[in-house]
Structure 1
Amino acid sequence: MAEGYDFIIIGGGSAGSVIASRLSENPDVRVCLLEAGGSDRHPFFHLPAGFAKMTKGIASWGWSTTPQTHMQGKVFTYTQAKVIGGGSAINAQIYTRGHPLDYDEWRQLGCEGWSYEDVLPYFRKSEGNDTYAGRYHGQDGPLGVSKPAAPLPICEAYFEAAKALGIPFNEDVTGEVQEGAAYYQLTQKNARRSSSAMAFLHPNRGRKNLTVKLRANVRRIVVEQGRAVGVEMLDGTRITAEREVVLCSGAIGSPRLLQLSGIGPADHLQELGIDVVLDQPQVGANLQDHLDLYCIAEVSGPHTYDRFAKPHLSVLAGMKYLLTKKGPVASSLFETGGFWYADPDARSPDLQFHLGLGTGIEAGVVSMPEGGVTLNSCYLRPRSRGSVRLASSDPAKAPLIDPNYCADPRDREMSIRGLKLTQQILGQQALSHMIKAERLPGPDVRTDEEYFNFICQHSKTSHHCAGTCAMGAGDSAVVTPRLAFNGVEGLRVADASIMPRVVSSNTNAPTIMIGEKAADMIREDQGI
């Protein structure tokens, strides 16, 4: 006999954890959360600096992109979380929301109910900010949000360098104004990571109506007579949903599972021998991501956290954290940055910076043996669109992830402008007493062709993928503005895949907001 619930939520990540928590607030509703990954007990998931381990394989599916046609065949490591809490358990903990105009554009695209004024209450609802309150911030929500616990003097020098180029300091980039250099607010509480699972799930695991299954791999969503009625697991067992199946597996995982379930582009599914349940060409289309470029400079002394890579100093760093909740272990390592313009006529900032307090922090990024600093930039409103497709009908096989970076020439141009601006910032007098020399791209890269050749070697994803189950007003959209799946009753999608356009910032806080808003819509539509 199949196991049964009112709601099945597939994916215990940034949105899924929120939805499971909110729906199970009603004791009469039976909620089952299925997470393919394991627990978050390992210390790296809780120590802010644990991020440095995350893109190197811990709690990841281990996926990569297809060779990028417009970037000389470069293959990118594409970290996707495989742990309870999802991306919020392995990211750099940066709390940004995008620009208000991002959401107003969603509404203009036909997504009623998703303007900035519509979504702002949901940001506040989640937020437990230890510093800011008022119109833009909440202090009573479960998600810890705080200022950096362990900034370094090089951060202040970076602000002065930015100011010399006309980029002002901004106290709060999630407030009224986004532009400027800033300390990011972080999803941390008491110098520990505040993931979606830690904030929303763990305090409520004692609820009798909430079942959380880890290492629960879903084979397919079961659709009968046009309605999602449950899921089939890899071991063949079935779990039924009397009310709804809510898919929260992310911008890669959600379209992947839909296609494995026979929901997607019919010609593609037929080629793989998958029975077509619904021909929906837009499932897995419209993939958007921010391409991350980086400038690396060698420092002239112990100005960053690179020095703690030495074993004896890493022990000292651990002791300092245990005693004071300060030092490198308390740092997300990318807690400084800001927003500015590649195109001076852009409607809002179209570049984002992340100042890395070290080098080699992420997989594939060069490290400086004597210590260095990294300044990343990404172009925030790419025009290029990619896709997520299946390589095989076998659910154990990795999907074909093609962000299609730089397919649009403007993306290439704006990205290079951003990289040049990072060089200018690191080259300012305010940083000269800390920086010995720029090493990458270095003085030998001068022409735009040389810059492009450089980024085809030295670039990475910003981990901001979105858009592959985009919501919209018409029947051709994957989901409605209520996040209901067009063409399948009882199925909803709620994660970054529903963004019609990727927001102009990191995507974790917006995904948590999507979870909050989705939970309210589900309760309204179901009358619970």
Structure 2
Amino acid sequence: MYDYIIVGAGSAGCVLAARLSEDPDVRVLLVEAGPVDDAREIHVPVAFAKLFRTKYDWDYLTEPEPGLEDRRCYLPRGRMLGGSSSMNAMIYIRGNRRDYDAWAAAGAQGWGWDDVLPYFLRAEDHHAGVSSWHGAGGPLPVNPGRSRSPLVDAFLAAAQQAGHRFNPDFNGPEQDGVGYYELTQRDGLRCSAAAAYLHPVLDRPNLRVLTAGQCTRILFDGDRAAGVEVDRGGVMEELRCEGEVILSAGAYNSPQLLMLSGIGVADELAAHGIAPRVDLPVGENLQDHPHLPVIHLTDTESLFTAETPENVRLLESEGRGPLTSNVGEGGGFFRTADGLDAPDVQIHAVPAMFHEEGLGVATDHGFHIGAVLLAPTSRGKVALRSALPSAKPRIVHNYLATGEDRATAVRALRLVRDIVGRPALRAHHRADFLVPADNSDAGLLAHARCVLHTLYHPTSTCAIGPVVDHKLRVYGVTGLRVADASVMPSVVRGNTNAPTIMIAERAADLIRGTSAAAGYRREPTAVQHPA
């Protein structure tokens, strides 16, 4: 019997396990479907794409996407300790303060910028020390990258030639501008949420970590979540808790588990033979950052030749060199239309031929300039494929479904073409590899439809407001919360790992605030939806 059962040992789950087990009087169980994070490719930063479509990846696909000429898009998600923080590009971005203030204005009490900033600071161990914008001494290291390609230097110079200012800190006073990304690395190696939060506390006697155990449903005692059912190699186990079940399985898997447990759109659950417990719009409101690559070939050395014995020695002896590259070493934030109160486009500058959704084999030196829609208006959905927990969910992102997103995509690609055409970057250009046919709106949109893929930032399928309350409690039941990127009311402007860690940091305080050290003060009735 446990006090807390946390489902999913990704970015949020690792934080929650570490924070909740700080109290020696509570018993915490962390359940992860995948294996331990012991593969070398997890820890060598440049190698993360080698984890794609392995046992460390959920390896999802979208359904045919209507806005992409019915293409199906590959959706990698981490399936190991650390989750997607064990296979991401390690970029530390909080988003824009307007994102959080918009959450609060829409009813997410306690989630405005001034509310969440202390949790970012608590998590952070920033290389420059404490300031009004950064924290030090937290579990999560935030450091400059130790690989700086001349191709990324050229991108930054070209962007400044195009009139965009240099920004030394995207998490400082202003987000706009171009610069190098700060990374969640320690000594040149990846520092996932597992490395930062979980591994240092694995010896706590009140914390158990169970790997290779896929949760199949939430167990209920009346309207109280009383535990979970776990499939461990075909053997089903029931694991019980006295306090709370906390879902931290991510924007695809948390809604799937809720639906398998009878919490979702009632008619859709009934169609799968699942008795509806609570009728909620679980799985709706899916959001992501669409990524639009433009790739050129070059004679300048790129990451194509990074794996040399010399660079291996540099990594192992000094923690530097090309193998420490996070791939997306630099970039920036831009406003591509008049009247915007925050950036609408982000760029990642990659000194490599990162193509075919990260699955393509590099055959030459190249550079990739990828534009990202930061505030998409298209909305997708996660739904059940069947009542079998082993069946992958049906995922439709509806990329480029709205006129606003199509117009932003055209402006984003035009921005990339402008920067690539500037002298500093043009000097490194040998040939086109994956580029728009022309600069017309039709040509740019056609390119977007053909090449768009995920930037790996799914959110909002169990959002605060429609599915959970501002304390992340699922409506209609007790003892059940969701704490991961799925609770974001809308996707933030920037990479989502740091915000997910922040959500879990705050969730830990919310949970401890409704629990006593020696026992648990449960709400006497189920949390009701305000509607």
Q: In which range does the TM-score fall when normalised by the shorter chain?
A: over 0.9
Kindly indicate whether residue 113 of structure 2 is the aligned counterpart of residue 116 of structure 1: yes
**Which secondary structure state, in structure 2, belongs to the residue aligned with residue 201 of structure 1?**
helix
Deviations 1:260-287 (A, max 9, x none): 111101111111111212221x100000
In structure 2, what residue type is equivalent to 1:216?
G
Contact 1:340 1:349 (C-alpha < 8 Å) held by counterparts: yes
- Asked if the contact 1:68–1:404 (Cα under 8 Å) also holds between the matched residues in 2, the reply is yes
CA contact (8 A) 1:256 1:399 kept: yes
Range with greater deviation from structure 2 (116-125 or 334-343): 334-343
Q: Secondary structure at the match of 1:435?
A: coil
Cross-structure match for 2:334: 340
Q: Which amino acid aligns with 1:297?
A: H
CA contact (8 A) 1:54 1:91 kept: no
- Alpha-carbon distance between aligned partners in 1 of 2:201 and 2:318, rounded to the nearest angstrom: 29
Equivalent AA in structure 2 for residue 502 of structure 1 = V
How far apart are residue 455 of structure 1 and its match?
Answer: 2.0
**Secondary structure of 1:151 counterpart:** coil
| Equivalent pairs, count | 514
Q: 1:86 and 1:373, CA in 2 relative to 1: closer, same or farther beyond 3 A?
A: same
Q: Single out whichever of 106-115 and 155-164 deviates more from structure 2.
A: 155-164
Q: How does 1:484-495 map to 2 (within 5 A)?
A: 484-495=473-484
- Structure 1 runs, 4 residues or longer, greater than 6 Å off: none
Residues 406-485 of structure 1: matches in 2 within 5 Å? 406-442=400-436, 444-472=437-465, 477-485=466-474
Contact 2:49 2:359 in 1 (8 A): no
What is the match of residue 354 of structure 1? 348
- Secondary structure of the 1:497 match is helix
Aligned partner of 2:181 in structure 1 is 184
Aligned-pair CA distance for 1:368: 6.0
The separation in 1 between residues aligned to 2:38 and 2:215, in whole angstroms, is 23
Report matched runs for 1:89-488 at 5 Å.
Answer: 89-234=86-231, 235-280=235-280, 282-302=281-301, 304-308=302-306, 314-360=308-354, 363=357, 369-442=363-436, 444-472=437-465, 477-488=466-477
CA distance in 2, matches of 1:391, 1:327: 45
CA contact under 8 A between 1:359 and 1:365: conserved in structure 2? no
User: Equivalents in 2 of 1:323, 1:364: separation in Å?
Assistant: 29
1:488-507 to 2 correspondences below 5 Å: 488-507=477-496
**Higher deviation after alignment, 183-192 or 56-65:** 56-65
Deviation by residue 1:107-133 (Cα, 9 ceiling, x = unmatched):
001111111111001001011111253
Query: Pairwise mapping of residues 34-113 of structure 1 onto structure 2 (< 5 A)?
Result: 34-57=31-54, 59-113=56-110
The answer as to whether partners of 2:331 and 2:347 remain within 8 angstroms in 1 is: yes
* Equivalent residues of 2:67, 2:398 under 8 A apart: yes
The answer to whether the 8 Å contact 2:3/2:27 transfers is yes
1:513 matched to 2:515? The reply is no
C-alpha separation in 1, matches of 2:324 and 2:418: 29
Deviation track 1:125-184 (CA, whole Å, cap 9, x = no partner) reads 011111253011111101111001111222222111111111110000011110100101
8 A Cα contact 1:11 1:249, kept in partner: yes
CA distance in 1, matches of 2:259, 2:237: 20
Q: Structure 2 vs 1, CA of residues 421 and 505 (structure 1 numbering), >3 Å: closer, same or farther?
A: same
SS in 2 for 1:514: helix
**Aligned residue in 1 for 2:520:** none
Q: For residues 438 and 51 of structure 2, what CA distance do their matches in structure 1 show?
A: 31
Report if the CA contact (8 A) 2:353-2:364 is conserved: no
Distance 1:456 1:314 in 2: 36
Q: Using the alignment, how far apart are the partners of 2:47 and 2:120 within structure 1?
A: 25
The 8 Å contact of residues 55 and 363 in structure 1, kept in 2 or not, is answered as no
Q: 2:14 aligns with which of 17, 26, 37?
A: 17
Return the alpha-carbon distance in structure 2 between the equivalents of residues 50 and 523 of structure 1: 38
**Identical-pair percentage:** 40
Q: Which amino acid letter does the alignment assign opposite residue 516 of structure 2?
A: G
Q: Which amino acid aligns with 1:287?
A: L
AA paired with 1:464? H
TM-score after normalising by structure 2 = 0.94
Q: What stretches of structure 1 of length at least 5 have no aligned partner?
A: none
2:66 match: secondary structure: coil
Displacement of 1:422 in angstroms is: 1.1
1:301 deviates by 2.8
Alpha-carbon distance in 1 for matches of 2:67, 2:423: 36
Q: Which residue of 1 aligns with 2:524?
A: none
Q: After superposition, what is the alpha-carbon deviation per residue over 1:307-334, rounded to whole angstroms, capped at 9, x for unaligned?
A: 33xxxx5333212212332221111111
Contact 1:377 1:418 survives alignment (8 Å):
yes
Q: Secondary structure at the match of 1:398?
A: coil
For 1:497-517, what per-residue CA distance to the aligned partner results, in whole angstroms no more than 9, with x for missing partners? 000010000100000000000
In the alignment, residue 62 of structure 1 is paired with which amino acid? D
Flag structure 2 segments of 5+ consecutive residues without an equivalent: 518-531
Give distance in 1, aligned partners of 2:467 and 2:13. 19
Describe the SS at the equivalent of 1:66: coil
Q: Tell me the alpha carbon deviations over residues 474-498 of structure 1, each in whole angstroms, 9 at most, x when there is no partner.
A: xxx2111011111110001000000
**Structure 1 Cα separation of the partners of residues 439 and 361 of structure 2:** 22
User: TM (normalized to structure 1)?
Assistant: 0.95
Question: Equivalent residue for 2:523?
Answer: none
Amino acid in the other structure paired with 1:383: T
Residues of 2 paired with 1:174 and 1:54: CA distance? 29
Aligned-residue offset at 1:225: 1.4
Q: Which amino acid letter does the alignment assign opposite residue 204 of structure 2?
A: R
* Cα shift at 1:338: 1.0
* Kept in 2: contact 1:132–1:139 (CA 8 A): yes
Contact 1:48 1:329 in 2 (8 A): yes
Which SS does the other structure have where 1:94 is aligned? coil
The residue type equivalent to 1:330 in the other structure is T
Shift of 1:361: 6.0
